[in-house]
Amino acid sequence: MSPLDAVTTVPIRTLLVANRGEIARRIFRTCRDLGITTVAVHSDPDADAPFAREADLAVALGGASPAESYLRGDAIIAAAQQTGADAIHPGYGFLAEDAGFARAVIAAGLTWIGPEPETIDAMGSKVRARELMEAAGVPVLPGRTLDADPDEAALRGYADEIGYPLLVKASAGGGGRGMRRVDGPDGLVDAVASARHEADAAFGDGTVFLERYVTRPRHVEVQILGDRRGTVSALPERDCSIQRRHQKLIEESPAPAIGDDVRERLATAARDAARALRYVGAGTVEFVLAPDGDVFFLEVNTRLQVEHPVTELVCGLDLVALQVAVAEGAALPDEAVDPDAHGHAIEARIVAEDAAAGWRPQTGAVERFAFGDAEPTHPDGAACGTGAAGRGDGGSGHDAALGVSSQTTLRVDSAVDPGSVVSPHYDSMLAKVIVHAATREGAIRRLHAVLARGDVAGIRTNRDLLVRTLESDEFRTVTHDTQLLDGPRLDALAAPLVAGDALRWAAVAAALAAQAARRADATVAATVPSGWRNVPAAPQTVTYRVQSSDDVLVVGYRLGRTGGLAELSADGARSTPDPSDDGASSSVDSSVDGGPRATEPVVGDSPTVELVRASATEVVLRIGGVRRRFTVHAGHDAVWVGDGRGQVALVEQPRFPDPGVQAAAGSLDAPLPGTVLRVDVAAGDAVALGQRLLVLEAMKMEHEVTATCAGTVTAVHVAVGDAVDGGQTLLVVQSDDGGEAA
């Protein structure tokens, strides 16, 4: 029996999604399948966002910040009434776990797609949640609530009772906000104060508590479902241990490398929690899994999770359809009650941030965004079917053993399309790429390939980090924990995929694509190679800065009379032909765009390089006898070059820089657009290396700007509350040795 076949008591005809981005698009897809009219609400920056365009109806909330738009419960309910909606789905984030909003929706005569407001209240306080779970027999970690500000001695006494390391955690909210790790007494007071401030700013509740921190833990969670008849279900568990700053990046189901006894304890504890809460709808019980196999309750999220697709794909269920069915009054279908997992699914979150630069969020326009040949697939498993291709229990030979090729399903849930603009006002997640295969190894291989070959331009993402993490020994052998990306391995895992020789060839491809574009646009002598002279002249040169690292590459090239390379240098490694060569061709490739073009070997200390063909969007080189293809996209701010292994953004440098635009020595600039939250120094203050100077708030997170040298603050250009643009000078520090601060 499916949710569509269930007897309903309150049929939903029109549904408003009180959210944005990929989760709104995801819910709309299921609504279209169910024949439900969809309504979007949007802020001013989101007026032309994909989710707003895809809805049947859309209502503007106004403003840009969440407080002006997606957190305005009264305006959202008014939009539902204006459009004739009879139900509201909150998605996740914003008002999804706001019991007051749920009550207001119900009071307005609308169907609330979520658990009872009382359940949200109980789990909205992590302190209350701990108490309820402990009473229900669910194992919890030692902890202590800080209802008021204790003095330092009392605070240290509480911490000593719990033991170090410990976490300071916000009672309200989630997503890693209001959470600080403390390894010893010295950092305790500051951690509590900082967590309180962030929690109060993010959730309007500064209550925090102390909790034992499990060293080298894994983060494992169980999806729960419940209906109004008292049926509860525990679905296959998910492992969400690949995190940064307590926010998940890679999730998979079922959790690898755990025994059947641990799996059963997780499911039993989740069902006990659901029964204690009389849970209705979809939720998640999260656990800490200690290295010795002990399981401890972490929290209950009373909403759909970002990582729900991996559960959908291993179960062949549509969790949003089940949420709708339960809200209408239907019973959970048999196939949704304690189902088994079939195959393995892994999800990777594509977020707009630079992992190598301290997880710095990125903003701007998305110029290209494509992963594999996937389109948004039906989330109930239709894309992966109910036979061998979907459940991984058929096929033969090598493919069946690895779960690749026909054994895999690719799904992309995206918030953006080419042309979308990433704003500093909201979360930095752009999309989720999910693969389902017969085996974990098969899923890893396919996801790795899809991410590495993905075409993203216009904005930096964490794609390189995800690819390197998937191929790491720790992830493949399941020896990782939640601290993998917070430890010494981060530098290696965050290293760009295109580096070394590959970076030099990418710069060559960028330069040759640019000259091909100029030739294509030429109005005179269009058939003459760029830079051609009757008498051999100096090579053409172009300088690129690597956007992700600020490294500089210089490419010099000269083309022969028929367009082949007569001379080439990249990053100082020059290859030249024999002096007797006048640039004549040595071979011709008749498949070149626009007609024949010569391919000429270049000799010297570097590998022999031949230009096979070049256009504005593709360059093919034969390097040391190996043919390599590069895709090139000339974007607004950079040239994006891909080689099948990854992409790099190169910024062409002006030949004659304008000295008038140079920043003053010691200037510290805003790493991204945001709002100044705190200013800790004034002009004339002496500062130490690494000292916090001010704090920006952007993309729902706090970002510290610290001193890059010891010195003296000579100017402060911003105040608390100021909105700043990325690259704007915030303050100036004169170093003690008289040099630049940055």
Q: Any idea what the CATH number is for the domain that residue 667 is in?
A: 2.40.50.100
Give the confidence band of 361 by pLDDT, cuts at 50, 70, 90.
Answer: confident
Judge whether 461 and 362 are in contact, CB under 8 Å.
Answer: yes
What are the percentages of helix, strand and coil residues in the chain, rounded to 5?
A: 25, 30, 45
CB-based contact 361:701 (threshold 8 Å): yes
Tokens matching residue 446 = 């396919």
Res 228 pLDDT > 80: yes
Instruction: Tell me: pLDDT of 572 over 70.
Output: no
Overall average pLDDT of the 520-536 stretch: 68
Q: pLDDT (tens digit, 9 = 90+) per residue, 469-495?
A: 999 999 999 999 999 998 899 999 999
- CATH code of residue 163: 3.30.1490.20
- Say if 461 falls within a structural domain: yes
Give the count of beta carbons closer than 10 Å to the beta carbon of residue 386: 11
Same domain, 357 and 461: yes
The least confident of 144-153, 207-216, 440-449 is 144-153
3 state DSSP class of 511: helix
- Residue 412 to residue 410: CA distance in whole angstroms: 7
Q: For the domain that residue 50 is a member of, what is the CATH number?
A: 3.40.50.20
Task: Say yes or no: 431 and 322 in one domain.
Answer: yes
Query: How much of the chain exceeds pLDDT 90, in percent?
Result: 62
Residue at 742 is within a domain: no
Asked whether 581 and 598 are in contact (CB, 8 A), the reply is: no
Considering the domain boundaries, does residue 163 fall inside one?
yes
Domain identity same for 532 and 624: yes
58, part of any domain: yes
Q: Among residues 491, 520, 543, which one has the least CA distance to residue 651?
A: 543
Q: Give backbone dihedrals phi and psi of 201, rounded to 5 degrees, phi first.
A: -70, -35
pLDDT value, residue 599: 36
User: Looking at the predicted structure, is the pLDDT value of residue 268 above 90?
Assistant: yes
Please name the helix (run of DSSP H) or strand (run of DSSP E) that holds residue 221, with its range, or none.
strand 218-226
What is the pLDDT at residue 74?
98
Say yes or no to pLDDT of 428 above 80: yes
Three state DSSP letters for 208-219: EEEEECCCCCEE
**The total number of structural domains that make up the chain:** 5
Alpha helix stretches (DSSP H) within 249-358? 260-277, 308-315, 319-328
- Rounded to an integer, the average pLDDT of 519-537 is 69
Is pLDDT at 648 greater than 80 in this prediction?
yes
Say whether both 631 and 685 belong to one domain.
no
Domain end (from 652, 685, 701)? 652
Picking from 729, 532, 541, the residue whose alpha carbon sits closest to that of residue 652 is 541
Residues 661, 666, 671, 676, Cα dihedral to 10°: -110
Answer whether 409's CB lies under 8 Å from 433's CB: no
Q: Mean pLDDT, to the nearest integer, of 345-362?
A: 92
pLDDT of residue 393: 31
User: Is the pLDDT assigned to residue 664 strictly greater than 60?
Assistant: no
Q: Please report whether residue 412 resides in a domain.
A: yes
Do residues 468 and 578 share a domain? Answer: no
Give the domain range for residue 430: 218-493
In a domain, 286, yes or no: yes
Return the higher-pLDDT residue of 378 and 105.
Answer: 105
Residues 489 and 614 in one domain: no
CB 111 within 8 A of CB 87: yes
How much of the chain, in percent, has pLDDT values that exceed 70? 84
User: Minimum mean pLDDT among 55-64, 351-360, 362-371, 620-629: which range?
Assistant: 351-360
Look at the block and give the residue holding tokens 């990053």. 571
Rounded to whole angstroms, the Cα distance separating 637 from 632 reads 14
Q: What are the residue ranges of helices labelled H in 368-500?
A: 388-391, 397-402, 440-452, 463-470, 473-476, 490-493
- 156 is written with which tokens? 């240290």
Measure the CA–CA gap between 666 and 721, rounded to whole angstroms: 23
The string of DSSP codes covering 714-726 is EEE---TT-EE-T
The verdict on residue 118 lying in a domain is no
3-state secondary structure of 346: strand
Distance CA 492, CA 483 (A): 14
Sequence length of the chain is: 742
List C-alpha distances in Å: 210 to 173, 207, 223, 405: 15, 11, 26, 48
Beta bridge partner(s), residue 281 = 226
**Alpha-carbon span 370 to 367, nearest angstrom:** 10
Work out the pLDDT band at 658, boundaries 50, 70, 90: low
At which of 602, 623, 652 does a domain end? 652
Q: Which of 330, 311, 351, 534 is nearest to 431 (CA)?
A: 351
* pLDDT score of 424 more than 70: yes
Residue 185: both structure tokens together? 């007494």
Distances (CA, A) of 108 to 12, 94, 567: 15, 19, 74
Q: What is the DSSP string of 669-699?
A: E-SSSEEEEEE---TT-EE-TT-EEEEEEET
The residues near 28 (Cβ < 8 Å, ≥ 6 apart) are 17, 38, 40, 51, 54, 55
Let me know whether 185 and 283 are in one domain.
no
In-domain check, residue 137: no
pTM over 0.85: no
What CATH number corresponds to the domain at position 550?
Answer: 3.30.700
Same domain, 264 and 190: no
Q: Which string of b and e fits 489-504 if b means at least 16 CB within 10 Å?
A: bbeebbebbbbeebbb
Same domain, 334 and 465: yes
Question: Cα separation of 483 and 739, whole Å?
Answer: 37
- Domain with 461 in it: what CATH number? 3.30.470.20
Least confident of 260-269, 558-567, 585-594: 585-594
314 and 343 inside one domain: yes
Both 542 and 621 in one domain: the answer is: yes
Between residues 44 and 708, the one the model is more confident about? 44
Residue the block writes with tokens 């969400």: 240
Confidence of residue 720 (pLDDT cuts 50, 70, 90): confident
Residue 404 confidence (pLDDT): 41
DSSP 129: H
Intra-chain end-to-end CA distance of the chain, in Å? 64
**SS3 sequence, 503-570?**
HHHHHHHHHHHHHHHHHHHCCCCCCCCCCCCCCCCCCEEEEEEECCCCCEEEEEEEECCCCCEEEEEE
Query: Do 78 and 12 belong to one domain?
Result: yes
Question: Which residues is 232 bridged to in the sheet?
Answer: 226
Mean pLDDT of 214-242: 97
> Which of 620, 652, 684 is a domain's end point?
652
Q: How many CA atoms lie within 13 Å of 11's alpha carbon, on the beta-carbon side?
A: 9
Give me the chain's average pLDDT, please.
85
The bridge status of strand 57-60 relative to strand 37-42 is parallel
pLDDT of residue 480: 97
